[in-house]
Amino acid sequence: MDDAALESLHVSLGPYIRNRFGLWQGNKALLDDCGTDHADDAYVVILDALVRRLREGR
């Protein structure tokens, strides 16, 4: 996956992560684990971790 394709995940997968993981509903434990109290910042942390794992081949 090239960088442009990965960037598109922010538009497509980002909202899914925010909604499915309850970031807008105050999933405090996950927000804390992401080091932020804002849903938009948290989903970026999660997506970045996903991309790192994919690039590592795990």
What are the residue ranges spanned by the domains of the chain? 3-56
Report which residue type is found at 52.
R
pTM of the model: 0.81
Report which residue type is found at 12.
S
Spatial CA neighbour of 2 closest among 51, 44, 46: 51
- Which residue has tokens 């960088």? 3
Each of the 58 residues of the chain gets a pLDDT tens digit; together they read: 677 887 788 888 989 999 999 999 989 999 999 999 999 999 999 998 988 888 888 5
Spatial CA neighbour of 7 closest among 42, 51, 53: 51
CA distance linking residue 46 with residue 18, whole number of Å: 10
